[in-house]
Structure 1
């Protein structure tokens, strides 16, 4: 009984510290490192892979791990995109949960999972707990926690703790995605990459080499390109085969706070029929203010209704027009507007426009 009370006290303290992370505006890497320290004794895992994600689509776009050698990470990316597996990040998110264990999803038969057969068991682990970090309508990251077979499957209580932690981590990651305070002009020249069937660069143009360095994963992997580029390429191959795929482009935030869009298209030889294993062209472009504003609104923690009000105001609509479009009274619009001002730290509509449209502006090529 005393041991149990001790574990519960440790868990409560960890959750309290996770809750405080949202006010620190840490980078994703910093959030993950602190979360690792806090959650390892609580969730009792032996290895973890942390990922950031495109908030809009939930697509994984980076990897960070201090436990695992990612020498076969290309295989992991392929399974993540192509395998119709159990307890995947999209399925967990779609279920309304924030965390799920492979043992529970397979009803005690993890061999049913191709991910377990091809990766988890081969690397000496017995169970996996996955968590998605959602907040303010966006998925800001996710993680996979593995434990050794001799620990047994994750118990339900641990999954519940992970569910709570995932919600708090979503808030912490979201808070770290606020727009940079003093953005500088960016080179508008698209970065173009031609990738072979193994996602190795065959040709580069524009500022691609510099961009690849700035989008590099925190942890080196077996990939020759950042995770986001490989994910965009594999989803393009899926789309070329007529298979369901999330909306492309993939969004990714560079280390300097700038957002980029990755557009990918699968190529095939003339007369060829199979694009799933062929070359892919990936074009990276700086996100425009119109493309980053919804992300910034979400990063400030605005509710869905507050985001609707703010977007209409940013497009020039007055209070009455907003009220008519959203079927609410002008007084309700004003209440939402006050909440928007409070959360974004501004005092007027012009200030809101400046704050939200502060994405880096295009500069001269090469500038």
Structure 2
């Protein structure tokens, strides 16, 4: 077999391996490490930075990298939130593809990218390949793959392979966030009974200045897999930068960020710029997600289509088949077909069980 055929066989083997990850029940960190083992040889990268994300907004909430120094990670966060660069994660999402290379986005002029000039090139890398891990309407994570400057740009077939791999990784990450039956639901997680929400105050470089409530415990539960220069989890730094953009009158995807801790509990983070204090200081408040915040995430995690999610949400609101049929302009038979699919994906046998499963985030009816 020629080298081209061998590369094709290796790529197919990597894709098959990624498909198998969907049903293995891995934690996010272990999933990324397994994906690295499968993809490094075929994509031919020298370093990778893995991220989980808020499925609703696509905002990055954690970082994992065994290859890169994260001693200046605050600069990466700043560029990601503030700069309108080439091949950013949001732009890739909007483009209709799941993977893009910096060389293709800049038409070979890598120095046109501020990310390349300030971060990638000083670290000794050349082309960058980025991928977003979307599945069932949510972006569950993303990654940036860097290769040495002497290796040249990524090939077209490598970008296409990354695009295909991203689809399977999206499904695998979605499955990682699927609540286990019997888990506590929103608002009943580890923080129950503690004195109010967690509050942290961050300085202009997102260094921790003060905290209140159960913040110390929550910061540990939401800590990044890799140690960074921030001093707080990535999700808090992103929430703070979003607040600073809002204070400047600039648009943001959403003012709140959803993040899941290692026990499966969802939290909502909301940042606010302080007035009358030191410029750039921000307060970030984190509280367990309410059912209204968590339900769309659970429905997406179960793999429901957009139409199935609409049907399920109406059932939660107390609608019967006739109501759903009228509100969604579909026949009762179509509603029943959607219900069967919803029940199967959520692992329930009745509407009552479905409502309990969604409201409790996987808890037993």
TM-score (norm 2): 0.95
Which residue pairs with 1:233 in the alignment? 240
Q: Alignment partner for residue 256 of structure 2, among 223, 244, 249? A: 249
Would you identify which runs of 4 or more consecutive aligned residues in structure 1 move more than 6 Å? Answer: none
Could you tell me how far 1:64 is from its partner in structure 2? 0.3
Secondary structure in 2 aligned to 1:145?
strand
Which residue pairs with 1:167 in the alignment? 167
Is the Cα contact below 8 Å between 1:179 and 1:358 reproduced in 2?
no
Which residue pairs with 2:271 in the alignment? 264
Question: Is 1:207 the equivalent of 2:217?
Answer: no
Q: In the aligned structure 1, how far is the partner of 2:275 from the partner of 2:355?
A: 44
Secondary structure in 2 aligned to 1:128?
strand
Which residue pairs with 1:53 in the alignment? 53
Is the Cα contact below 8 Å between 1:89 and 1:132 reproduced in 2?
yes
Secondary structure in 1 aligned to 2:340?
helix
Secondary structure in 1 aligned to 2:124?
coil
Q: In the aligned structure 1, how far is the partner of 2:3 from the partner of 2:153?
A: 20
Which residue pairs with 1:336 in the alignment? 338
Could you tell me how far 1:286 is from its partner in structure 2? 0.2
Is the Cα contact below 8 Å between 2:179 and 2:362 reproduced in 1?
no
TM-score (norm 1): 0.95
Distance 1:59 1:111, change over 3 A: same
Secondary structure in 2 aligned to 1:45?
coil
Could you tell me how far 1:132 is from its partner in structure 2? 0.2
Is the Cα contact below 8 Å between 2:27 and 2:176 reproduced in 1?
yes
Instruction: Count residues with an aligned counterpart.
Output: 356
Which residue pairs with 1:364 in the alignment? none
Considering only aligned residues, what root-mean-square deviation do their CA atoms show, in Å?
1.4
Question: Is 1:89 the equivalent of 2:106?
Answer: no
Which residue pairs with 1:224 in the alignment? 231
Gaps of 5+ in 1: 362-367
Secondary structure in 2 aligned to 1:158?
helix
Secondary structure in 2 aligned to 1:204?
strand
Q: In the aligned structure 1, how far is the partner of 2:345 from the partner of 2:43?
A: 33
Q: Which has the larger displacement, 245-254 or 183-192? A: 183-192
Which residue pairs with 2:9 in the alignment? 9
Secondary structure in 1 aligned to 2:125?
coil
Secondary structure in 1 aligned to 2:30?
helix
Could you tell me how far 1:313 is from its partner in structure 2? 0.6
Q: In the aligned structure 1, how far is the partner of 2:300 from the partner of 2:362?
A: 18
Could you tell me how far 1:359 is from its partner in structure 2? 3.5
Q: In the aligned structure 2, how far is the partner of 1:206 from the partner of 1:240?
A: 25
Could you tell me how far 1:30 is from its partner in structure 2? 1.3
Question: Once the two structures are superposed, what CA deviation does each residue of 1:272-325 show, in whole Å capped at 9, x if it has no partner?
Answer: xxx9x5110100000012211110110011100000001101111000000000
Q: In the aligned structure 2, how far is the partner of 1:331 from the partner of 1:182?
A: 32
Q: In the aligned structure 2, how far is the partner of 1:230 from the partner of 1:89?
A: 17
Q: In the aligned structure 1, how far is the partner of 2:257 from the partner of 2:319?
A: 30
Secondary structure in 2 aligned to 1:55?
coil
Secondary structure in 2 aligned to 1:49?
strand
1:127-146 correspondence to structure 2 within 5 Å: 127-146=127-146
Is the Cα contact below 8 Å between 1:268 and 1:278 reproduced in 2?
no
Q: In the aligned structure 2, how far is the partner of 1:209 from the partner of 1:55?
A: 25
Which residue pairs with 2:33 in the alignment? 33
